[in-house]
Structure 1
Amino acid sequence: MNIKPGGTAGLNLAYAVGFFAEDDSYVVTQLGGDSPFGSTLAALGSDYAVHISPDGAGWSVFAGLDITSPLGNGKGWYIRDRESGFVWSPFYLPVGEKADEYEVAFFPGQVTAYTLKNKIAASLTVAVLPNKPVEVWLVRLENRSARERSLSFTTYFEPRVGQDLEIGYRMREKLLLMRKSLSSPTDAIASDMVLFHTSTLVPARIQTDKMRFMGQGRSLRNPLELDEAVDTQPECSSQNPLASFTVEIDLPIEGEAEFGFCVGVAHNADQAVELAKGLSRTSLIKEAVQMARMKWENAFSRTRLDSPDRVLNALVNTWLPYEAYAGWMRERTGGVCLDPAVATDYIRRFYSICAATPDMARESIVKFASGLSLTGTYSPDSRSFASLSLSELVWLPLVVARYILETGDACILAEPISLADSKGSQLTMQDLCERILEICSASREDAGPMFLRASRAWQDILGNPQTDVNKDIKEPQPLHQSAKSSEELVLPRRIRYLLAISKVLAEPGPREQFEQLFSADGAPTSDCAVACAALSKIVEELLGVKAVVDGLLLQPRLPDSWYDYQLIRVLRGDVYKVHVKRSLTPAKGQLAIYVDGSRISGQVIKEFGDGQEHLVEVIFC
């Protein structure tokens, strides 16, 4: 097989140059494209997300609705020296001035831009918060010059709306409210939605009209608002609405200041006020940002790798599971445009992260099943419909089986499902999944290898590993025997990137596995889908740790360049601390497994069910 080193398949935009820091953040040091990790900021339990590039361009979405323009020019931040009038941004955009020092660090659900310009060190953190429809902006300024500095910081938030908004400012809460006028037709913003913008400091200036902010012949790079010296007050309504606060900061020599802002959506003004009160002080915003990071760390603690490959650790522990969740978030908030080829992504993304986000995995599985019909069509919202192929439908029993293996929650099989065209009648989840498998069994050529995989997983959780449904199915042929063996394969750009940054993944064995995976018909191509597939491939085949009905199956592989590695795996409440190492002395056999000091026969660690830690030692002899 010939592997093209480059190509443009799946290449939307080149990745920016960066590296993994000790805390697993991905730090971009050179602009020129999207970050390979973290460009979608998502939070657990929230439908609010932010798409952002390392240069600061981006947009916000909520429940399928673009809050700001997808062109990426609906938000901006400005720092102005009030003495010299010089203006720059904590991100590269919108001003576009190069800084003396500049880097952007991506975390799950957060991004922080660090700049040093005009002897002012600035950091701006943009973060989304769990269970809240908001994003927060945390700002820190430090004076590194030998004189006192007088600065101003200006925000720019332009809602994506074509008609006028009613606008009100509540001085006590430092809260700017915007909502659709009752007399205006509903377009980009729902009539019952309230947008709001808050500040932890009292604004010196407030602007709510885009034309007044921008000025004649100006742009976001040099808006008139930053030149004005007179106070402005919010209008009662505006046909070109925006929300902009300017706060003033005086910094002594070596002094610093921290403050914050919040933008978000609410169902009414009272809810907006409550959200604003919870983020009214800088300390509250800092606490919320830290809590959001801790929630992600806790979610990803079910699988933790400690190996000699620092990059692989960051991929397994943080970024591949996060990208899987972020992809689900994009599907969840992606509006009503429905593509049959990716409709199942709504549950497919959870295949590799069921253990990390069990509640949302269960909710998504049930919701997806309820959108199916007896004829195989799928409707997520009763407005858009798609006819799913068997290879897509079979993902439901496959993900349900995976969810049960990871969580032990077999009660989902009895979950009543009202199909879209059932006229009130219900099936259980088990009945629905078995019906799908029966349909696929009668049309094996259409379902292909996915049916074999799903049927075996399904029978495993039911305790019937050998059944008539799959006895005549042949194993899919290896890649080198397939019709594609003579074709050139262009690996997805994310896989090419992973092979470039991880020495272990670039070794012949792992590389060949990726080539086999992504050469098959219907192989994933999008960045998120590739991340999901890569995570499962690395954990289950390279590291050789897999959940099975009886417990944990260990089939580890130790790369030639490694002496050992450690892995923490949480399965159904039990914690397995696995240490895989080479034996220093030759012995019979290839693998010896010790659990809590006692050697076991076979390679399956039986489920304890006690919720305790268990030490597992695996020795390659």
Structure 2
Amino acid sequence: MKKRFGYFTDNGREFVITTYNLPRPWINILSNGRYGFLVSHTGGGFSWLIDCNLNRITKWYQDVFRDMDGRYLYIKDIDKNEYWSPTYKPVMKKLDYYECRHGLGYTVIKSRYRGIETEITYFVPRKESMEIWIVRLKNMSKRKRNLEIYTFLEWWLGTIYDIDRQFHGLFYDLWVKDNIMFVTKYFWTGFDGSWNRSWNYIAFLTSSLKAISFEGCREKFIGENRSIVNPETVEKGECYQTIGRGFEPVGVFKYFITLNPGEEKRFTILIGVGENEDRIKKIVKKFIDFENAFRELKEVKKFWLDLLCKTTVETPDKYVNYLVNYWYKYQTISARILSRNAYYQQAAAYGFRDQLQDTLTLLLVDYGWAKRQIIEHAKHQFSDGGVMHWWHEHNDQGMISRHSDTPLWLVFMVINYIKETGDYKFLEEIVPFYDKGEASIFTHCELAIKRVLKKFGRRGLPLFLSGDWNDGFNGVGIKGKAESSWLAEFLYLILNEFSTLCKIIGKNRKAVLYRNKAKRLRKNFNEKCWDGKWYLRGFTDENATIGSHRNKEGKIFLNAQSWAVISGIAPRYKARKAIISAEKMLDTKYGPALFLPAYKNPDEKLGYISRYAPGTKENAGIFMHAVTWMMIAECILGRANKAYKIYIKTCPAYRGLDPNRSKTEPYVVSEWIAGPDSQFFGEGWNSWLTGSAAWSLRVVLDHILGIKATYDGLKINPCIPRKWKKINVKRYFRGSIYEISINNPHRLSRGIERIIVDGKQIKGDIIPLFNDGKTHYVEVFIE
């Protein structure tokens, strides 16, 4: 079924957009981890190197409604004196045909105007700091066409803060040599903040076509009282060939192409950066050749498919299949890990807890990559157990975390890594601290736990500090007295899991120590945090409750209920009661809200959570991170259809069936959906750059399908919708492939009758370890 604005291809690997008139830009993020660029469905976006905030290559101001900053082509019919843009923008002349295909590592925009068909394929090579456009032009008309082609981009070469363009124009140097435009800048504040440093690179623009002219000055290209919609250079066909210094630079080349009726021509456009001219010329020589460019495109496509397809599913729900097999993983890796960038938010820095949770995805595709991620984060822990909240890659500078939960995510991820890989030796690996000294990964984990255990309040619960998972509660604990019930739940999980790990590796005293601390915490939590029908969210510095029936605003919080189940800290009857209360009081047409009612007025004693508009983001929005945890809780309680119902409400592909309401892309998860207290109830925001993609992936694989890594092997415990009769899963695990078939002939949700592995029935629900690099066949019967 085709949606109003587009559709997934049958294999789910592309989303095809069929109109340029969308409620917001629908984008792709193309990156190799060093060089990247955003491209919207109409050619908007920008390029960057390493850090999208401190090292931008091309200009881009965030304006998700106009979306006019980009890297564009103009095509001009000389005989008719008429020009247009094959991506619709910036000229915005109505196209006779249009489609945009966002794929895994590439985007293709195809259009037709007055008999000229254009197709542009965008991608980033695997190992070079550049982007390649493969352009195809075909004359579909019956007359010979004489065409001028103009490239256009605005050079930036600096930080996101370089907005005084007249001032910054004084520092650029632009020259053209051998059909290549070079540009650099003798001023850069992005590395150390000084005002006496040059940009370290040279940017370039070129094409396999031979340029007949060029323009380097923005003012001369656009002309007086004009814009990029109707630039004077394109209208008049004249370039001033401006080079040198002292102006705002643009990348404009003019090319000439003749097309006979039915004739087709292809060429490449290259944009990128290099350390010097010689290095750039070497790169250009390679990729200016169309065959080399096309070969590289094939390599990029192969890389993504090889990476993403180690674990795949085949369920009766095609959208589940598309998202789990490709888009959840692609979103996490492309946007969060390789780029840290998107249209709604340009994070750029590495977030300690964010990237660690994203590693849940890496564990399914590349053990080595996941391990490197964990080590990198351990390196940003201090010797006292504290951590950096975030840091920039190229200068390793950032902000020290004052949040209470952040250190624990290192422990969480180490535990998950060992369950997935069985690599216990990793615990012995020595990793330096950010400030001084070094220690084993095991010690890094212990220090993180001990740091949190040292900061408890009067009720025997962990402190809020500058916020726990919810950053917006930054005013709750500034006096150092506020306590977080959610952190108690998370810490309880970590203590028990770490105790189990200690026991496995023979550290029995430590195992008992952490288990006893967990028991004490559980007692305090259930005595102090139960509100009668649900769990409180916490207590303020002033000893006021958060998330109580006594509160007029913020009566009940989703995370406090879901994590009571996930962590196992709540007795089963209270856990079930809490989830039922959350369902009754928080569920909406578009999914469960983070809490309700929203805070209506700013409250310094709470923090900036109360400063958001009601129903948005952390102020009672439908926050997808929390939604995934609610689905996990429902599965743990065996409420399969409840979990799936939430999934349908919040799944981007299903939300895309009503695109004028959902607004954001149907192929990636949004960070949040406007809640019922917002006038924009149901609209999605901040797509791509959210940890919800990794958690959505794990919701389906680990909890709905119930195929979860444990220390002893893969545990099988499905909690599926009753209507699902047959499911096939290919699961990579510890060097082997498991082809798992889940059979549900009686339309039940759970309850394993038997498991057969390689033709033999096994005892229990854990598939035995093989570690033999072979494929093993597993049949699961729910009866």
Do they fold alike, i.e. is TM over 0.5?
Answer: yes
Residues 507-559 of structure 1 show CA distances to partners (whole Å, capped at 9, x for unaligned) of 53323579999xxxxx9746422212211111111111111112211112443
Mapped partners of 1:246, 1:410: distance in 2: 60
The residue aligned with 1:439 is 451
Q: Decide whether the 8 Å contact of 1:524 with 1:533 is kept in 2.
A: no
1:303 and 2:348 matched: no
**Correspondence for 1:469 among 514, 525, 530:** 514
- Say whether 1:105 aligns with 2:93: no
* Cα offset, 1:577, TM superposition: 0.9
Query: For residues 236-385 of structure 1, what are the structure 2 equivalents within 5 Å?
Result: 236-237=244-245, 239-325=247-333, 326-331=335-340, 343-375=352-384, 376-378=386-388, 380=391, 381=395, 383-385=397-399
Farther-moved stretch of structure 1 (427-436 vs 153-162): 153-162
Residue 585 (structure 2) aligns with: 486
Determine the structure 2 residue equivalent to 1:169: 176
**Matched-pair contact (CA < 8 Å) for 2:709–2:715:** yes
State the shift of 1:261 in Å.
0.7
Q: Is 1:398 matched with 2:412?
A: yes
Deviates more, 1:366-375 or 1:91-100: 366-375
CA contact (8 A) 2:99 2:109 kept: yes
From the superposition, tell whether residues 448 and 495 of structure 1 become closer, same or farther in structure 2 (CA, over 3 Å): closer
Equivalents in 1 of 2:105, 2:223: separation in Å? Answer: 34
Q: Distance in 2 between matches of 1:253 and 1:591?
A: 67
- 1:27 pairs with 2:16: yes
Distance 1:495 1:27 in 2: 27
Distance change in 2, residues 1:183/1:404 (3 Å)? closer
Q: Give the distance between the partners of 2:765 and 2:778, measured in 1 at CA.
A: 11
Q: Distance in 2 between matches of 1:63 and 1:536?
A: 28
Q: Does 1:60 align with 2:47?
A: yes
Equivalent residue for 1:529?
691
User: Counterpart amino acid of 2:93?
Assistant: E
Query: Are residues 1:178 and 2:183 paired?
Result: yes
Structure 1 CA distance for aligned equivalents of residues 431 and 361 of structure 2: 24
Output one character per residue of 1:135-171: Cα deviation in whole Å (capped at 9) or x when no partner: 1111112222122222232211211152342233332
Aligned to 1:604: 766
The 3-state SS of whatever aligns with 2:79 is coil
Secondary structure of the corresponding residue to residue 117 of structure 2:
strand
Partner of 2:438: 426
Aligned to 1:6: none
| Distance in 2 separating the partners of 1:337 and 1:555 | 38
1:509 corresponds to which letter in structure 2?
Answer: A
Q: Counterpart of 2:382 in 1: which secondary structure?
A: coil
With 460-469 and 183-192 compared, the bigger mean Cα shift is at 183-192
* 2-structure distance, mates of 1:134, 1:585: 52
**Aligned-partner Cα distance in 2 for 1:511–1:448:** 29
Taking structure 1 as reference, are residues 591 and 141 closer, same or farther at Cα in structure 2, changes over 3 Å only? farther
Structure 2 letter corresponding to 1:349: D
Q: 2:758 is matched by which residue type in structure 1? A: D
Are 2:313 and 2:728, in contact at CA under 8 Å, matched by a contact in 1?
Answer: yes
Which whole-Å CA distance do the structure 1 matches of 2:273 and 2:315 have between them? Answer: 43
Contact 1:114 1:124 in 2 (8 A): yes
Q: Distance in 2 between matches of 1:243 and 1:193?
A: 16
Q: How far apart, in 1, do the equivalents of 2:286 and 2:498 lie?
A: 46
Q: 1:360 to 1:83 in 2, by over 3 A?
A: farther
Output the CA distance in 2 between the equivalents of 1:127 and 1:421: 39
Are 2:734 and 1:572 equivalent residues in the alignment?
yes
Shift of 1:42: 2.5
Structure 2: which 5+ runs fail to align?
62-67, 158-167, 464-486, 506-510, 523-567, 594-620, 629-638, 652-669, 673-685
Q: In structure 2, how many angstroms separate the alpha carbons of the residues matched to 1:222 and 1:417?
A: 57
Partner of 1:7: none
Distance 2:627 2:223 in 1: 44
Distance 2:153 2:101 in 1: 22
- Contact 2:17/2:99 (<8 A) preserved: yes
Partner of 2:723: 561
CA-based RMSD of the aligned residues comes to 3.6
Q: Contact 1:48 / 1:63 at 8 angstroms: preserved in 2?
A: yes
Partner residue in 1 for 2:707: 545
Please tell me whether the aligned partners of residues 63 and 332 of structure 1 are also in contact (alpha carbons under 8 angstroms).
Answer: no
Change in CA separation of 1:170 and 1:414 when aligned onto 2, cut-off 3 Å: farther
1:405 Cα deviation from its structure 2 partner? 2.8
Deviation at 1:84, TM superposition (A): 0.9
Structure 1 pair 392–250 and aligned structure 2 pair: CA distance change class (3 A): same
- Cα distance in 2, alignment partners of residues 426 and 555 from structure 1: 40
Q: Which residue matches 1:206?
A: 214
Equivalent-residue separation in structure 2 for 1:35 and 1:565 (angstroms): 35
- Note the C-alpha offset of 1:314: 0.8
Query: How much does 1:63 deviate?
Result: 1.6
Deviates further, 400-409 or 208-217? 400-409
Assess if the C-alpha contact under 8 Å between 1:16 and 1:34 holds in 2: no
Going from structure 1 to structure 2, the CA distance change for 1:338 and 1:300 (only over 3 Å counts) comes to: closer
Cα distance between partner residues in 2 of 1:463 and 1:345: 29
Letter in 1 for 2:46: W
Residues 409-454 of structure 1: CA deviation (Å, up to 9, x unaligned): 44432332222222xx211111111221233345453432222333
**Is the deviation greater in 558-567 or in 296-305?**
558-567
Name the SS for the 1:152 alignment partner.
strand
In structure 2, distance between residues paired with 1:220 and 1:506: 53
Separation in 2, partners of 1:591, 1:123: 54
Q: CA deviation at 1:574?
A: 0.5
Equivalent residue, structure 1, for 2:31: 42
- 1:136 equivalent to 2:146? Answer no
How far does residue 560 in structure 1 lie from its aligned partner after superposition? 2.6
Alignment of 1:228-243 (within 5 A): 228-230=236-238, 233=241, 235-237=243-245, 239-243=247-251
Unpaired runs of 5+ residues, structure 1, are 1-14, 499-504, 518-522
Bigger CA drift: 432-441 or 285-294? 432-441
Distance in 2 (CA, whole Å) between partners of 1:257 and 1:581 is 53
Find the counterpart in structure 2 of residue 520 from structure 1.
none
Secondary structure, in 3 states, of the residue corresponding to 1:278?
A: helix
Aligned partners of 2:378 and 2:250: how far apart in 1? 41
Shift in CA distance, 332/388, structure 1 to aligned 2, threshold 3 Å: farther
TM normalised by structure 1 equals 0.85
Distance 2:6 2:744 in 1: 33
Partner of 2:59: 69
- Residue 448 in 1 paired to residue 488 in 2? yes
CA distance 1:88–1:524, shift in 2 (3 Å): closer
Are the counterparts in 1 of residues 332 and 693 from structure 2 also a CA contact under 8 Å? Answer: yes
Between the aligned partners of 2:500 and 2:104, the Cα distance in structure 1 is 34
- What is the CA deviation profile of residues 110-159 of structure 1, one whole-angstrom value per residue up to 9, with x for unaligned ones? 22112122122211122122222211111112222122222232211211
**Partner SS for 1:385:** strand
Counterpart Cα distance in 1 of 2:763 and 2:295: 49
Change (3 A) 1:33 1:130: farther
Residues in 1 aligned to 2:740 and 2:775: alpha-carbon distance in whole angstroms: 10
Q: Partner of 1:567: helix, strand, or coil?
A: strand
Q: What is the deviation of 1:183?
A: 12
The one of 90, 93, 98 equivalent to 1:94 is 90
Distance 1:321 1:596, change over 3 A: same
- 1:106 is displaced (CA, Å) by 0.9
* Contact 1:479-1:516 within 8 A present in 2 as well: no
